[in-house]
Amino acid sequence: MEKQLNKRRVAVMATDGFEQSEFKKPIKALKKEGILVDVISLKEGKIKGWKETKWGDKFKVDVIIDNAHSTDYDMLVLPGGVMNTDTLRTNESAVKFVSDFFEQGKPIAAICHAGSILIETGLLKGKKMTSYKSIKTDLINAGVNWVDEEVVVDDKLITSRSPKDLRVFCKKMIEEISQRIPVSLNE
């Protein structure tokens, strides 16, 4: 499987104020499987994480959102963090990027507050999801069947509640991208 997974490419979209554990652990899990990961953000240079109650580390941006194309990626990962998600959900290019993954039928993995970015797409009606409890009502108002579970998979949408669910979230994310490997080895 690893030989095939190393042909996969995943976009992780974030900006300043992302929850650092929800950014680092999924990237580590993907890279462990040999998957290429690009950090997509609103600006060039580095973005700064949020580590529980204070600013965290800085991480390199690979591609700015205005140069990112969903067709280049097999999956989208959205870490949470209130500042991160509030900024991304108000950026037209970021919302379009997320919408394109839905429209192309590609997996999206969103944890914690990242569900608020998904709301902006207008494409959640009828989806089963979970999230951090503070955006539960927002998701319900967007037409989501919200449940309080560690991880929820609805078609190609993977959601989790918080950093405490990262282990199972990362496992489901890897399972989902593994299912996207073509039967033919001659891609």
> What one-letter code names the amino acid at 88?
L
Radius of gyration over alpha carbons of the chain, in Å? 15
Asked if 113 is an active-site residue, the reply is yes
Phi, psi of 121 (to 5 degrees): -75, -25
Tokens 């999801």 appear where? 129
Contact 80, 113 (CB under 8 A): yes
Asked if 112 is an active-site residue, the reply is yes
Count Cα neighbours of 87 within 13 Å in the Cβ-side half-sphere.
Answer: 18
Contact 139, 119 (CB under 8 A): yes
Tokens 């914690």 appear where? 112
- Among 8, 48, 106, 113, the active-site one is 113
SS3 46: strand
Phi, psi of 44 (to 5 degrees): -75, 165
Alpha helices in the chain (DSSP H): 2-5, 20-32, 82-89, 92-103, 115-119, 136-141, 166-179
- Among 5, 112, 129, 142, the active-site one is 112
Residues belonging to the active site: 112-113
